[in-house]
Structure 1
Amino acid sequence: MSDTTLVTRILFQDFSSWSITLFYLLGYTAIGIFAHGVYTQVRKYRRGRPLDIDAWRQRAINMVQDMLTHRTLVRRDRKAGRAHALIFFGFALLFIGTATITLEYDILQPLFGWRFWHGEFYLWFSLVLDIAGAGLIAGVLYMMYRRQWLKLPKLDYARPDRSPQDPDYDRSGYRREDWAFLWALILIGVTGFVLEATRLVWLSGEPAVWDLRFWSPVGAVMAHVMQWIGLSPEGAGLFRSGLWWFHGLLALSFIALIPYSKIKHIVTAPTSLMLRDPLAGRRLPKVPEEQASAGYQYITDFKWKELLHLDACTKCGRCHEACPANAVGAPLSPRDVILSLREFANHSLNAATLPEKAELDVHGKGPGQVFMETLWSCRTCLACVEICPVAVEHVPIIVQMRRKLVEDGNMEPLLEKTLQTIHKTGNSFGESKRKRAAWTKELPFTIKDARKEAVDMLWFVGDYASFDPRNQKVTRAFARLMHQAGVDFGLLFEGEMNAGNDVRRVGEEGLYEYLATANITSIRDCEFKSVVTTDPHSYNTIRNEYPDFGGEFEIQHYTTVVRELLLQGRLRLSKPLGYRVTFHDPCHLGRYNKGFDAPRDILQMLGCELVEMGRNRDNSFCCGAGGGRIWIPDAPGTEKPSQNRMHEAGAIEGLQVFVVSCPKDLTMFEDALKTSGYEGKFVVRELIELIEECVEYDESPALSVEV
């Protein structure tokens, strides 16, 4: 057995001096090409608008945690996430290994005479890198299998926003790029192992190499196979020489192409994760005072972070798969919006000098531009942002582009009329402000006016809960529950206006700021401890966006309030309901604000059997009303998201009640129940109605649910 303290690998063994010089020239050339690409990308980002980023240390910690745990990648696609982890950690270890060799061979040894790449360190180094290389190859092979044989729709790059006649319809170039990336990784990994095996066969007569071969287990097994098929040490030496150059040139080409290809995501994706806004979409940005017009018209209107987001997209298709608009055939795929903008940015911002202003306009029908119909198809449900493994913020970008459309009057006439109505009356129904609390007249008790007397809880009711006749029944039911529980609560009466959540997501920022400022003023003038609302849309904007305008209030959705009242015994329950139910998570309560548990806890307390739909909690499917789409008519003959959801619920055997906890959900799903053919099979009810049916009243006016 050879002395393990002497074992190492001679990097350029039997290479002539001119071969070594040539390799270094090629290496420096690759580094130069890489550096120029990095410069071009940084210049592109700098052409976007500036953005202040804080908390760098915490952001870096979060990014490292995301990378090490792969938590954003394994969500809802565990196999792909685990395969990516094999590729990521394998590549990272191989990169570190190469850097370690470079550190000794090119820096420490020539400058200081320091050597460490020998002995036990070298042996463990060989073992770890063999395992890393095997993991990388296994991960890449699964990704190849996934693309070639599983035929996942989200990976086909079919564009719902273009027709075959459009010049940028064909995205076969992306498929070729994906396969080139995967094949490059496979070839680098496989040729590395073959190169290792041929070296072992070539030096099989040297005990310091051959006796310790199984510290490189994959290479050792391949070496024995080579010997078995008759490869001699001399033949291995010749084969090694040509393969060494092939492997080296492939690796150098890979490095050189990083800034110019999909490979750049190894840099842009972690950076995108680090720059992530935890409230992206939940809290939209204000229009800066120095900005001449609202929203984004030109690619240079984008913040540099958003331009980087475009490059971070790996085309995984998770947002494409999750999008409710895309699911019902609307001309929208969040992925394609991002890729179109990326193509546009690369075409217009990578040049040495910027094109004319007109050529920077991202709106229109040209290559890379985003269609108006695409932007208006978005429900701003946040499904795309929530599932994106690299933290691309699709919804804020779409809303910024909508702001420009609204400013120019490029919207549906009915939407424009609704916005005018809200500006005039303070609500989307066009009713007089004096009628906002008209629903209270049918109650046997008086509700306090919080503007005139102090209350413990201020109830922000919202438009649909105040004016829609069907929702008014639910609103009165909640008032009875609060009264029965002895809660000291009151209303703003005509002092309340539309909260503005959907107005803002439409893109009408000026109207939103008017509504928000008016509501904040009204709320501030009241004396109360906390705010409650039965409307998740109002809940989101008051909780997450009003603070930017000076309105910081403690606010709860009614489900958390009622759960607490039930737990405290302030609401007493009669016999269990025993209904077989499913629950629809409202986007603005669930995905936006993580309010998943309270409604389910209440259903359990009511004695209901909850059967979850396949898409639930953070993967819940949108009803289709968000982003102002409740005010925009759907194209005749097309499926609505609410109908799609009804089909999902209809597949549950024995379902009796489809439960919602949002006024807009109640409106959308009761209509969809009829139009999708499930009327008479189950009913749509607000959770409040089930609670009231189960609660013991001192004087019982409970609603019943026909099932």
Structure 2
Amino acid sequence: MPDPGLSAYLGLPGWLLLWILAAVAFSLFGRRVVHIVRVLRRARPENRWEQIPRRLWYALTNVFGQKRLLEEPAIGVAHLLIFWAFVFFATSFFWNLLRGLFPFLPVPYADEVTWMALPMEVLGVLALVALLVAAARRYVFTPPSLERTRDATIVLCLIGLLLVTFLGGQGSRAMSGEHAGAWSPAGARLGRAFSGLGIEPASAAALYLGMWWAHMATVLGFLAYLPYSKHAHLLFAPFGVLFTSLRPGGMAPESEGAARLEDFTWRQLFNALSCAECGRCDRACPVHASGFALSPKELVHHFKELVAGALAVSAPAKPALPGSDPGGDAREKASFVGDVVRREEVWACTTCMACMARCPVFNEHIPLIIEMRRHFVSRGDMDVGVKDVLVNLGRYGNSFGKSARARAGWTAGLDFPIKDARKEPVEWLWIVGDYASYDPRVQGVTRAAARVFQRAGLDFGILYEGEQNAGNDARRLGEEGLFGLLREKNLKTLEKARFEKIVTTDPHTYHVVKHEYGGGNGSRELRGAEVLHVAEVLDLLLRSGRLSVESPVDATVTYHDPCYLGRYNGVYEPPRRVLRALGMRLVEMGRNRDEAYCCGAGGGRIWMEDVPGIRERPAENRIREAAGLRGVSTLVVSCPKDLVMFQDALKTTQLEGSLVVKDLVELVESAGAPVVRSDSYVHA
């Protein structure tokens, strides 16, 4: 085959023409990247350079392995094939580009290397099939969360053209006999097809040059277009995965709130660049499904517009390619939080993290929402119920607005005393939490937990009136100052107590104490105490023999994973082991573990009024799912707020006769008398 770099075109040598095309493409690419960096530098700094080995592992499994995308196998496999074809063809492109720019280098073109032809052709054909699947999904079998956009069409066409021109070049090589059929199966078949169309072998050289230049021009055009496109995630998503938050739950750094571009961190703005607009976040979001104003996808799209506006201002002239944004200056001057992102969107979130758990590029929606909530809280712009609760938390240390002396009132129904951990040492410090302490619907569960602990011989105590709300909800509502106050008060109380381990009733308390009270387990404030949830302690007691099942429970149940125990902390198996140990038959709901459907209480939503026009509360949706399981009589929970929300949902859905809601600890207590051993230590 002729050398494309040494062949002449319009009186110009091929290498010079390639230099011109490459210079234009890389200039446009570099220009846009420089402007993007300028915009990101305007944002608040944030350190995302810690734990590099762990970050590289995330990138390896989720960029090159496409781990999250493969959770939806059909489209995941198609995307995996397209991605790996892209990797191979990018390598081939840069090899060919170098060879074309410097035609006298003593190296062959990539497509001249026989052993490279086979994997590239196989990937090329598979990727072409995958591309057709992706196109059919977008334009024929379009899910509601996916849009038909001009950008998507351009990107699909460019990828298709890239694959077709490569395979066409291989076919022309096969016509000339350069590649053996075994190494170029697709090329050999295309060569025969070309011959069948009447193309003479003598024309193979011209066909090859045409395909080679079309391929190189397509890639260079793609390179120039991509950073201006709304599908720039092809370029930026790998960096979004690499710089994902390693803090459990991805909590936003402390700040006074965000309303303008400069108030957000660079990583928060980076969400806009890496978003693939696939809609998985919308499909996972319980409040979006219920008809609330929030769409996680649309939220990130707002940030795309914010960044696009800043880029239009940053650029000295309008971008020359499609995807440019001429209205950026006016939009950037508009009030972003409040006008573009409406308060109804911000306050709808339950912080359940379903959106983040499903996002294939690890976008961080909840930190964005918390930043904007901080802004609204600083202005007093919030639901009346939220205002009342925040006042109660500040004044009384609990969300119910009741006296601190009434916090341990639930102990009055017990026939044994509970130690005060401030006055005598205990092995287990039990942080009971607001709902477990004050809500009459939950107090019975709290007493059941105390009886199980007592009968198992645990050396445990509580803080009585010294305990205050742990502050998780205050923080998720955006009241960072109040969270700091509650944390400080609790830490001062913990300094007076003597304990070895901490057990919590509420998963929200579990998360915030374990991870946000000074850096997690081993922090100075917690003196290295391990933090466990009641479900984990019950599992340890049963597995160690401290609890035995005297009366196995003959029942078929399903289990609901609390968001802050499951998605936030990965505690999925301990409660299931407990249910199996009790002799129960566990039937999983379709949405379980990291796909579990939120009850709707988190992020302070439990205190907010429902907005008009919602289709169905998240808790009602979940109750219907559980009630629809054949033979299931009980929905098991391990969160006080879940218990409250689902019991209410049973009434509103009129399903009280077909399903009951029970806490895990109630079932453990009813399963019979435990075996008590002399030692009080439970080994994790």
Q: TM-score, normalised by structure 2?
A: 0.91
Rounded to whole Å, the distance in 2 between the matches of 1:357 and 1:91 is 35
- CA deviation digits over 1:596-633, x for unaligned, max 9? 01110010011111111010001000000000000101
Tell me how far apart the structure 2 counterparts of residues 58 and 459 of structure 1 sit (CA, whole Å).
33
- What is the match of residue 574 of structure 2? 598
**What corresponds to 1:276 in structure 2?**
244
Establish whether residue 473 from structure 1 lines up as the match of residue 473 from structure 2: no
Tell me how far 1:381 sits from its aligned partner.
0.3
In structure 1, C-alpha distance between the alignment counterparts of 2:83 and 2:424, rounded to whole Å: 61
From 42, 45, 61, give the equivalent of 2:40.
Answer: 45
Structure 1 gaps of 5+ residues are 1-7, 157-171, 288-293, 700-707
Equivalent-residue separation in structure 2 for 1:608 and 1:557 (angstroms): 21
- Where 1:392 maps in the other structure, the secondary structure is coil
1:361 corresponds in structure 2 to 335
Q: Identical aligned pairs, as a percentage?
A: 38
Q: Which residue is 1:309 aligned to?
A: 271
2:101 is equivalent to residue 139 of structure 1: no
Please give the alpha-carbon distance, in whole angstroms, between the structure 2 residues aligned to 1:617 and 1:322.
13
Give the match's secondary structure for 2:389. helix
Post-superposition Cα deviations, 1:537-567, rounded to whole Å, max 9, x if no partner, equal 1001000101249533421001111111122
One-letter identity of the residue aligned with 1:579: A
Distance 1:504 1:580 in 2: 38
1:322 is aligned to 2:284: yes
Structure-2 residue corresponding to 1:581: 557
Cα 1:327–1:234 change in 2 (3 A) is same
Partner of 1:527: 498
Superposed CA offset, 1:469-506 (max 9, x none):
01000000100001101111001000000111111101
CA 1:176–1:259: 2 relative to 1, 3 Å: same
Structure 1 residue aligned with 2:253: 285
Structure 1 position 64 matched with structure 2 position 60: yes
Worse-matched range after superposition: 319-328 or 126-135: 126-135
Map 1:368-517 to 2 at 5 A: 369-517=340-488
Q: Which stretches in structure 2 are left out of the alignment for 5+ residues?
A: 316-327, 677-684
Query: What corresponds to 1:193 in structure 2?
Result: 167
How many residue pairs get matched? 655
> What value does the CA root-mean-square deviation take over the aligned residues?
2.3
Q: Give the distance between the partners of 1:690 and 1:118, measured in 2 at CA.
A: 66
Distance 2:434 2:201 in 1: 83
Report whether the alignment pairs 1:123 with 2:123.
Answer: no
Q: CA deviation at 1:151?
A: 2.1
Task: For 1:251 and 1:564, locate their aligned partners in 2 and report how far apart those are by CA, in whole Å.
Answer: 58
Corresponding residue of 1:704: none
- What is the rounded CA distance, in whole Å, between the counterparts of 1:613 and 1:211 in structure 2? 54
**Change in 2 beyond 3 A, CA 1:320/1:392:** same
Secondary structure at the residue paired with 1:547? coil
Match of 1:162 in 2: none
Instruction: Give the drift of 1:234.
Output: 4.7
Deviates more, 1:236-245 or 1:497-506: 236-245
Q: What letter is aligned with 1:551?
A: E
Looking at structure 2, the residues matched to 380 and 697 of structure 1 have their Cα atoms a distance apart, in angstroms, of 38
1:544 equivalent in structure 2: 515
Conserved 8 A contact 1:63-1:274: yes
**Structure 1 position 71, deviation (Å):** 1.1
Alignment-derived partner of residue 151 in structure 2: 177
Deviations 1:430-464 (A, max 9, x none): 11000000111111000000100000100000000
Equivalent AA in structure 1 for residue 459 of structure 2: D
Aligned 1:90-109 pairs, distance under 5 A: 90-106=85-101
Distance 1:664 1:184 in 2: 50
Please tell me whether residue 614 in structure 1 is matched to residue 590 in structure 2: yes
The 5-angstrom pairing of residues 636-675 of structure 1 reads 636=612, 638=614, 639-675=616-652
Quote the residue 1:5 is aligned against. none
Q: Which amino acid aligns with 1:50?
A: P
Change (3 A) 1:543 1:283: farther
Between the aligned partners of 1:497 and 1:542, the Cα distance in structure 2 is 12
In the alignment, which residue of structure 1 is the partner of 2:12?
Answer: 18
User: Aligned letter for 1:85?
Assistant: L
2:321 aligns to what? Answer: none
* Secondary structure, aligned partner of 1:316: coil
1:615 and 1:584, CA in 2 relative to 1: closer, same or farther beyond 3 A? same
Amino acid at match of 2:44: R
> CA separation in 2, counterparts of 1:578 and 1:67?
46
CA distance in 2, matches of 1:257, 1:215: 33
For the structure 1 residues 13 and 125, does the alpha-carbon distance in structure 2 shift closer, same or farther, using more than 3 Å as the test?
farther
Shift in Å at residue 104 of structure 1? 4.1
Equivalences for residues 190-229 of structure 1 within 5 A:
190-201=164-175, 204=176, 209-210=177-178, 212=180, 214-229=182-197
Q: Secondary structure at the match of 1:556?
A: strand
